[in-house]
Structure 1
């Protein structure tokens, strides 16, 4: 079918989940030992515990503690990370990953550890952002225990934001890998795919990591063509979303579909189809599911539907 509609960008209707951080990250004070010690001692300070990539929730809200309570669980300063100030209150994360049963540290009604992605869309924006930040930073620390240059052990520094090599002395910093995620539009339909790692029946926007020496627009066109054989013309930016699962920054785009035929050119997808607005408004009736409500993929679809 010919593409008889003019491609136009769709503006974001609201902020994405995990954005809108309330924190002043105070990067310039992270290496100030006196400031960090005073922040830990502050009666206003709050702590977000993280256990093996899971955050603590009670009644679908984040569960925070005072530093006095949390210090009874973990006194190793290397497991404490300073996140910043939230309305003047110091905020820390503490890594409880060394405990086999962290619930034994907590009171019976203190809540449960869970993957934030199962509840992130229900949390207030500030809470979701802070918990995702804590999870991502602790995951990075755990994956940077040894230097990638000389192989010697690394130790945390700068309140958890640097991993310092004890051998060659190089400092390693947290990183986020840029990934494009795009909703390809052709007439009144969108292109979505199903990967083997997805839940059964779920279709989502296409996505992929940006390669060295590549612009974001080039990455959009390359990824779509590699996965489906569909050619993309105009590309328009929508919004971004931190995705620390484990360490990505999702850069959302809409793309103009120039061709319609689908040809699987790699093994990334097990299926891909064009979906009309009517189908996306009632996916259950048409035998498929949309991506999770906390994802930028879902936001791209919803804003297209609304537009």
Structure 2
């Protein structure tokens, strides 16, 4: 990987908003920002973002005035940050059967972010992923995991605290770390596929990091568990937020110490070694295709292909 490659930002990363974390505890400041007529509201409905445009999709937002109809009843409102002098907030509309009833026209449509990922601009993708991920966390932490009492949102939506004064446990947004690793053997690359993936799609291996485990340990364990081979030369590559629903993908490269595969069929439907020639001539159809271009998996593969 060249110096330019190392500086390249993966899709859904690099959101340009100033998150203004130092202002989140200032409740009056947050309230003023939420009331400001220049504030922009990004609605999220059941994990889907509001998008405008088909061929050239862009993130859709709602003015503070137009959001007045739905803000009071929203189950979660979270401050995202500042773009210049304009605050941006994410608002959950998942309690509504039809969010179109509270949005101004023309409003766009709620869509799964990954379905438009290759077409949407980098900054819009990062902003929408941020909004989606934060509201997903709110939706799954309405009750305290310690005592079961309801939680309340604080610090601009970046903290939930147990409402029971005897408990008052703080709950911070959670991101699940997952390693994703490109395993090579000289001029060959190891790819696998799961049975429920798009027809013909193969990708690099991946798995969640377990408690008490380093990232490098997780890489070695996952490869050994899924295909039965040991790896060494584990090296960090880059990372990517992946709020589908709540992960951070930590990319690595590794070198295989053996090549005979023992596939864990409860994990993978298939795994194979592929040469550079095969991958460079990939048909990208139901016979064989690489992962989505917005994924770090695709970046790992493309960077490896560019090495020679």
- Give your verdict on TM over 0.5: yes
Alpha-carbon separation, structure 1, partners of 2:248 and 2:236 = 14
Alpha-carbon separation, structure 1, partners of 2:288 and 2:236 = 27
Deviation digits for residues 248-286 of structure 1 (CA, Å, limit 9, x no counterpart): 111001111121111024611111001111221222279
Quick one: which of 150, 154, 159 aligns to 1:157? 154
- The CA RMSD measured in Å over matched residues stands at 1.9
Deviation digits for residues 15-56 of structure 1 (CA, Å, limit 9, x no counterpart): 100111111111221121210121122232111110000001
Q: Where does structure 2 lack aligned partners over 5 or more consecutive residues?
A: none
Q: Residue 226 of structure 1 contacts residue 266 of structure 1 at CA under 8 Å; is this kept in 2? A: no
Question: TM-score, with normalisation over the residues of structure 1?
Answer: 0.92
Which secondary structure state, in structure 1, belongs to the residue aligned with residue 181 of structure 2? Answer: strand
Q: Match for residue 5 of structure 1?
A: none
Alpha-carbon separation, structure 2, partners of 1:95 and 1:285 = 36
Alpha-carbon separation, structure 2, partners of 1:102 and 1:225 = 46
- The question of 1:104 aligning with 2:101 is answered yes
- The question of 1:125 aligning with 2:122 is answered yes
Q: Match for residue 49 of structure 2?
A: 55
- Equivalences for residues 209-288 of structure 1 within 5 A: 209-265=208-264, 267-284=266-283, 287-288=287-288
Q: Residue 80 of structure 2 contacts residue 89 of structure 2 at CA under 8 Å; is this kept in 1? A: yes
Alpha-carbon separation, structure 2, partners of 1:95 and 1:283 = 40
Alpha-carbon separation, structure 2, partners of 1:79 and 1:213 = 33
Quick one: which of 32, 40, 64 aligns to 2:26? 32
Alpha-carbon separation, structure 2, partners of 1:158 and 1:211 = 29
- The question of 1:66 aligning with 2:63 is answered yes
Alpha-carbon separation, structure 2, partners of 1:274 and 1:12 = 26
Q: Match for residue 3 of structure 1?
A: none
Q: Match for residue 134 of structure 2?
A: 137
Point out the more displaced range, 16-25 or 64-73: 64-73
Question: Shift of the alpha carbon at 1:9?
Answer: 8.8
Which secondary structure state, in structure 2, belongs to the residue aligned with residue 223 of structure 1? Answer: helix
Alpha-carbon separation, structure 1, partners of 2:284 and 2:39 = 49
Which secondary structure state, in structure 2, belongs to the residue aligned with residue 214 of structure 1? Answer: coil
Question: TM-score, with normalisation over the residues of structure 2?
Answer: 0.92
Q: Residue 74 of structure 1 contacts residue 96 of structure 1 at CA under 8 Å; is this kept in 2? A: no
**More RCO (CA 8 Å, sep 6+):** 1
Q: Match for residue 92 of structure 2?
A: 95
Quick one: which of 18, 21, 37 aligns to 2:15? 21
Q: Residue 75 of structure 2 contacts residue 93 of structure 2 at CA under 8 Å; is this kept in 1? A: no
Question: Shift of the alpha carbon at 1:106?
Answer: 3.0
